[in-house]
Amino acid sequence: MHPQEPESSSAPAAVLAPGHTFTTVTDQLSDMVLVRPYEGRWFLCLGVGFSLVMTLFTAAAYLLFQGVGVWGIDVPVMWGFAIVNFVWWIGIGHAGTLISAILLLLKQDWRTSINRFSEAMTLFAVACAGMSPLLHLGRPWLFYWLMPYPNTMGLWPQWRSPLVWDVFAVSTYGTVSVIFWYVGLIPDLATFRDRSKNRWAKMGYGVFALGWNGSAKHWHRYRTAYLILAGLATPLVVSVHSVVSLDFAVSVLPGWHTTVFPPYFVAGAIFSGFAMVVTLAIPFRAWYGLYDYITARHLDNMAKIILATSLMVGYGYFMEGFMAWYGSSSFEKFALLYNRPFGPYAHSWRMMVFCNVLAPQILWFKWARSNVGLLWVVSIIVNIGMWLERYVIVITSLHRDFLPSSWSMYHGTVWDYATYYGTLGFFFTLLILFIRFLPAISITEMRELVHKTQHGHGRTTEASPETGS
Amino acid sequence: MSQIFHPSANTLARTSIAVLVIGANLALGGLYGFSGSPYQTGVNVVRTQPVPFSHEHHIRGVGVDCRYCHNTVETSASAGLPPTYTCMSCHSQIWGATAMLEPVRSSLAENKPISWTRVHDMPDFVYFNHSIHVQKGVGCVSCHGQVDKMPLAWKAEPMTMAWCLNCHQHPEEHLRDKRDVTRMDLVLSSQEQLAKGRELVNENHIDSDRLINCSVCHR
């Protein structure tokens, strides 16, 4: 694949290529931002991303001007792309917290080089996710009605509605993710402050480094805060997508009203989240030559998680069908055993099964997991498949409701697609800016990894010479 | 390495955080205060009118009943604003030549209604009906205040949804006998009011559970 790529052998690859010291790690990772010149292809990426952001703005402005009728939604399918995209994006966001919180608590050292940009990816994905239902409100400027606050209407949100639970789940998740990401960044921002030559950059990083001086006290508090935040974030990995699934499961619609939804959605979220991390990590490490940090071991582990969660998702699909067959609801039988596999949206359903259940099975083979190009293609297939999963769930259950006279078909309009591609561009733009201006791989944790690989195991709270002031 | 920031930056940082937190709370509190303030609700704001009509003079001074002018209040959604003929039923006889009443005379001569400034403007999505309130024993004074003490009219109550719901949830606190609906001077102790109100809730078949259904006011 690439000359620098370590050859796969029988022994598991290291999480950090051998031969690194504190200095080489710090130099390489901070030079990515502070020394590396601006490249044409970076501007090209930014330009492409920003054009799509402009598309998003145009679509949103037209939507606000005309109303939600510009989208394809109409009776009986009142949840279209907006909800599909919301669930898709929020699912993608799940890998960040899983990697940063759960794998931290489980002391998985292979998380360290991918956690920072997974967390950033989470934040940007949550931002994209939040946009969809807000635009779907029809009058988004009244979004604050979703919050309980003292008001002249004497009204309170409808606590029995899972859509209100959703608001709290997603906003909590967003807040905790931002804090977790920022706290993790502080020592690295101090490194940037100390190493940048430009006075304005020094001040910019300096303000956000909050006066970090690398003392033992600072490290102690930082470690404690980081662990507490990891503990707080851990239940969110499970809770957020469970609540999102309740948007569907609490209703009485065949195909939605299923007890398997919460665990099956959580598995799907981690599935799509890791797929997105792989989709981004592979070009990122090729672009910046980060083969020492994101090694074959990382890709292999992520591929295994994708395979495991693919099996869980497949089990979810199977259980939906099995329960419909085993149960006695003729509506559910129709929805799951006939309408999805053989109905008018059968192409989407079949494509979904191929993308989410069949295609990842190739990752059983070690040669497939170590073939970077193949892994990248599989991760993209999974991303597409998970979007289709939400499309199938939302559309097929709605378009054939209990009353055949109201049956209809749903198709996204050009504005639906513009909004969707726009959020992709928004996500991509933020990511491109993040890679350029912030440490996309945690320098602090890589130094710790150097320490661990040189001196065996055990946590370290030592400050590196770089961050003394 | 030289320091980037002066030691005072620490104070500046702490102050900025405090200002952000306090400022955000003040801004939200300010918005909340504004939403209930007279600027927003119009309570106690005197409206100028083409003719300086005094409810105080006509009710307290002359003793005209509310329903003499607002004559559809018992039977229709709107209380009714009197046509110029109603004014002229008296003012053709008394004070007919004063300058103050010139707009009334010209309204009659040109056959054009006087364009009064609206004091209570309910939003279009609220289906308010005067007659049902009057029939069930809600006094004029409960919503419009002591109109007999208003030289020029103003809003006495904010007419926000929370204010409406307050009575829809506890109608017994405001009900009176139908014969007392237009009385401005009825004073009851809170015990008497509750006893009377509960009696009227039964008598007039008022179901406060139904009164807080969305579709009672938003149809």
Residue A333 included in any domain: yes
pLDDT by residue for chain A (469 residues), tens only, comes to 444 444 444 455 678 888 888 888 888 888 888 888 898 999 999 999 999 999 999 999 999 999 999 999 998 999 999 999 999 999 999 888 888 888 888 888 888 888 888 999 999 999 999 999 999 998 899 998 888 988 888 888 999 999 999 999 999 999 999 999 999 999 999 999 999 888 899 999 999 998 898 899 999 999 999 999 988 888 888 899 999 999 999 999 999 999 999 999 999 999 999 999 999 999 999 999 888 889 899 999 999 999 999 999 999 999 999 999 999 899 999 999 999 999 999 999 999 999 999 999 999 999 999 999 999 999 999 999 999 999 999 999 999 988 899 999 999 999 999 999 999 999 999 999 999 999 999 998 888 888 888 775 444 444 444 443 3
Q: Is A145 left (phi over 0), alpha (psi -120 to 50) or beta?
A: alpha
d(CA B173, CA B192): 10
Kindly indicate whether the ipTM for this predicted assembly is greater than 0.90, answering yes or no: no
Q: Where are the domains of chain B?
A: 8-35, 55-81+116-217
Residue A398 included in any domain: yes
Please tell me the total number of residues recorded for chain B in this structure.
Answer: 219
**Whether A237 contacts A90, CB under 8 Å:** no
d(CA A328, CA A425): 45
| Chain A residues near residue B35 by CB distance under 8 angstroms | 151-152
d(CA B32, CA A89): 34
Which residues are CB-neighbours of B120 under 8 A, at least 6 positions away?
A: B144, B155, B159
How high is the pLDDT of residue A12? 59
Angle A375-A379-A382 from CA coordinates, rounded to 5°: 140
Tokens at A432, concatenated: 């491109």
Model confidence pTM above 0.90? no
Helix (H, G, I), strand (E, B) or coil at B62: coil
The pLDDT tens digits of the residues spanning B156-176 come to: 999 999 999 999 999 999 999
A152 min Cα distance to partner chain B (Å) = 5
Residue type (1 letter), A209: A
Mutant choice from B1, B5, B39, B43 vs A, greatest count of A C-beta within 10 A: B5
Write out the residue range of the structural domain in which residue A100 sits: 22-467
Residue A123 included in any domain: yes
**Whether A383 contacts A275, CB under 8 Å:** yes
| Chain A residues near residue B160 by CB distance under 8 angstroms | 152-154
How high is the pLDDT of residue A469? 37
**Whether B134 contacts B144, CB under 8 Å:** no
Neighbours of B134 (CB within 10 A): 20
Which residues are CB-neighbours of B109 under 8 A, at least 6 positions away?
A: none
Number of A–B residue contacts, CB under 8 Å? 39
CATH number of the domain that A292 lies in?
A: 1.20.1630.10
Number of structural domains (chain A) is 1
| Chain B residues near residue A202 by CB distance under 8 angstroms | 4
- Strand-pairing partners, residue A77, are A74
Residue A135 included in any domain: yes
Out of A151, A154, A203, closest to residue B4 by CB: A203
Helix, strand, coil percentages for chain B (3-state, nearest 5): 50, 0, 45
Residue A8 included in any domain: no
Q: Is A456 left (phi over 0), alpha (psi -120 to 50) or beta?
A: left
**Whether A131 contacts A87, CB under 8 Å:** no
d(CA A305, CA A270): 8
Chain A residues with at least one Cβ partner in B under 8 Å? 149-155, 193-194, 199, 202-203, 206-207, 210-211, 469
What mean pLDDT comes out for the span B34-56?
91
Residue A186 included in any domain: yes
The pLDDT tens digits of the residues spanning B94-153 come to: 888 888 899 999 999 999 999 999 999 999 999 999 999 999 999 999 999 999 999 999
Which residues are CB-neighbours of A134 under 8 A, at least 6 positions away?
A: A140, A143
Alpha helices by DSSP H, A261-345: 261-288, 296-326, 330-332, 340-342
DSSP A365: S
Which residue in A378, A351, A385 sits closest to A364, CA to CA? A378
d(CA B130, CA B71): 11
Matching residue, tokens 């993710």? A177
Which residue in A277, A79, A91 sits closest to A173, CA to CA? A91
| Chain B residues near residue A212 by CB distance under 8 angstroms | none
Write the DSSP string, A138-178: SSGGGGGGGS----TT-----TT-HHHHHHHHHHHHHHHHH
Measured N-to-C along each axis, helices A443-455 and A112-136 cross at an angle, to the nearest 10 degrees, of 150
**Whether A139 contacts A68, CB under 8 Å:** no
d(CA B112, CA A200): 71
Which residue in A466, A382, A367 sits closest to A10, CA to CA? A367
| Chain B residues near residue A154 by CB distance under 8 angstroms | 160-163, 165-166
**Whether B210 contacts B202, CB under 8 Å:** no
CB neighbour class for A75 (10 Å; exposed up to 12, middle 13-18, buried from 19): exposed
| Chain A residues near residue B13 by CB distance under 8 angstroms | 207, 210-211
**Whether A454 contacts A462, CB under 8 Å:** no
Instruction: For chain B, give the longest Cα–Cα distance.
Output: 97
Do A211 and B166 make contact, defined as CB atoms within 8 angstroms?
A: no
Which residues are CB-neighbours of B186 under 8 A, at least 6 positions away?
A: B139, B141, B176, B180
**Whether A194 contacts A467, CB under 8 Å:** yes
Do A211 and B165 make contact, defined as CB atoms within 8 angstroms?
A: no
**Whether A460 contacts A451, CB under 8 Å:** yes
Do A155 and B161 make contact, defined as CB atoms within 8 angstroms?
A: yes
The residue of chain B nearest to residue A201, with distances taken between CA atoms, is B4
d(CA A340, CA B215): 38
Neighbours of A238 (CB within 10 A): 18
How high is the pLDDT of residue B46? 92
B3 touches chain A (CB under 8 A): yes
Chain mean position to CA A425: 15
Residue A409 included in any domain: yes
